[in-house]
């Protein structure tokens, strides 16, 4: 099929034909009536045809330009995310690299609340008093950089949900679910609970960062360090709690979750959101036996450690809490 001439080419042709028509008209004024000159009408007709083609070409150009602009606007509006889903389903991210099983991370500055609590406990011990369990969590404000790997690294490759369950940006993460519940929900999706080490690597990356975003604690980047609110009434698992007015009201009082992915700086080196803070996440500890295969990692919105490496291991598999949720992992496709 012959391509349509461009509007610029047609414009030049039209101008040439108009010129011929003008010359022809001028010639008609001097020619003999017995020798009529047909060139002027022919040139005028060609000029009209060229004008029609020019209008069509201009309309086609305008439509093409509009389509290009619309495509560019759509590309600009399309969400862009860090990381890659290569070898994983579209709702998961590939975690691939060299993992360090044992890391040294030196804290340079502890939170003042923790320092004060430690000083109080020391004073009691020095005076011979019993020291009760403290509710003040260790929180390091600044770590020495870089972290140090103490053993040989090993390859790690797997897929992890981009967001906390239900793995939808803008949704509140699930809570009041046990480790057993979380494991089943992942399996129902053809996935599994993440292991303790998988969480470590997805959170810290090959640089072994204490926090997903670096070496210094920052409550503006992840949902951490919110004031503690004391629970006063019993809570039930989520579905049951929503049916009980007192439980529902108690949860609303305690709840300080944020929608998943709503803090854009709370993202790991692999592109995974909210691995620090927002909600504690159930993980699988393969070296443990039932009912202790469950662990909690990442911290929640309260004034707790809220970093990559620590694991809370005293919650049993059937336990549940208002600060406990999860996300899923899966083996990555072979390269």
Gap between the Cα atoms of 68 and 71, Å rounded: 5
pLDDT above 80 (res 224): yes
pLDDT above 70 (res 179): yes
Q: What is the pLDDT of residue 51?
A: 57
pLDDT tens, position by position, 57-99: 666 666 666 656 655 554 444 456 789 999 999 999 999 999 9
- What lies within 8 Å, CB to CB, of 210 at 6+ separation is 105, 140, 143, 147, 204, 307, 308, 309
- Specify the range with the lowest mean pLDDT, choosing from 14-23, 91-100, 146-155, 287-296: 14-23
pLDDT above 90 (res 1): no
pTM of the model: 0.76
Is residue 170 within 8 A of residue 164, CB to CB? The reply is no
pLDDT above 80 (res 45): no
The residue ranges of DSSP E strands in the chain, in sequence order, are: 92-99, 103-104, 107-110, 140-143, 148-149, 154-161, 192-193, 280-284, 294-297, 311-312, 324-325, 328-331
The share of the chain scoring above pLDDT 90, in percent, equals: 74
Of these ranges, 9-23, 38-52, 292-306, the one predicted with the greatest mean pLDDT is 292-306
311-312 and 324-325 as β-strands: parallel, antiparallel, unpaired?
unpaired
Q: Is the peptide bond before 132 cis (omega within 30 degrees of 0)?
A: no
pLDDT above 50 (res 189): yes
Q: What is the pLDDT of residue 10?
A: 46
Q: What is the pLDDT of residue 312?
A: 97
Confidence band for 46, pLDDT divided at 50, 70 and 90: low
Q: What is the pLDDT of residue 335?
A: 85
Select the more confidently predicted residue: 4 or 204. Answer: 204
State both tokens at 290: 């039932």
pLDDT above 70 (res 20): no
Mean pLDDT of 313-330: 97
DSSP state for residue 84 in the 8-state scheme:
-
Mean pLDDT of 105-130: 94
Confidence band for 182, pLDDT divided at 50, 70 and 90: very high
Confidence band for 47, pLDDT divided at 50, 70 and 90: low
Select the more confidently predicted residue: 147 or 133. Answer: 147
pLDDT above 60 (res 332): yes
Q: What is the pLDDT of residue 301?
A: 98
Longest dimension (CA), the chain: 136
Q: What is the pLDDT of residue 132?
A: 87
Is residue 167 within 8 A of residue 327, CB to CB? The reply is yes
Gap between the Cα atoms of 166 and 183, Å rounded: 13
């Amino acid at each position: 099929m012959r391509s349509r001439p461009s509007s610029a080419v047609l414009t030049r042709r039209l101008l040439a034909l108009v010129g011929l028509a003008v010359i022809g008209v001028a010639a008609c004024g001097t020619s003999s009536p017995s020798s009529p000159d047909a060139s002027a009408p022919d040139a005028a007709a060609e000029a009209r045809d060229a004008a029609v083609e020019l209008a069509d070409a201009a309309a086609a150009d305008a439509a093409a330009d509009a389509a290009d602009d619309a495509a560019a606007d759509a590309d600009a509006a399309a969400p862009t995310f860090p990381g890659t889903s290569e070898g994983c389903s579209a709702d998961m991210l590939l975690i691939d690299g060299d993992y360090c099983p044992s890391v040294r991370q030196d804290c340079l500055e502890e939170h003042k609340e923790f320092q004060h609590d430690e000083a109080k406990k020391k004073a009691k011990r020095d005076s011979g008093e019993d020291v009760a369990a403290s509710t003040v969590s260790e929180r390091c404000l600044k770590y020495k950089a870089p972290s140090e790997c103490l053993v040989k690294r090993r390859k790690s490759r797997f897929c992890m949900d981009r967001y906390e369950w239900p793995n939808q940006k803008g949704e509140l993460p699930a809570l009041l679910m046990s480790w057993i519940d979380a494991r089943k929900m992942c399996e129902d999706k053809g996935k599994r609970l993440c292991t303790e080490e998988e969480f470590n690597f997805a959170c810290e990356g090959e640089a072994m960062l204490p926090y997903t975003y670096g070496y210094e604690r920052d409550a503006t980047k992840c949902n951490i360090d919110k004031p503690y609110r004391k629970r006063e009434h019993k809570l039930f698992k989520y579905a049951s709690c929503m049916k009980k007015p007192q439980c529902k009201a108690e949860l609303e009082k305690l709840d300080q979750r944020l929608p998943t992915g709503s803090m854009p700086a709370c993202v790991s080196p692999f592109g995974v959101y909210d691995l620090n803070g927002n909600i504690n996440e159930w993980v699988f500890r393969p070296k443990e036996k039932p009912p202790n295969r469950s662990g909690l990692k990442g911290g929640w919105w309260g004034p707790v450690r809220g970093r990559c490496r620590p694991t809370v291991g005293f919650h049993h598999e059937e336990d549940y809490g208002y600060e406990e949720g999860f996300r899923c992992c899966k083996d990555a496709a072979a390269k």
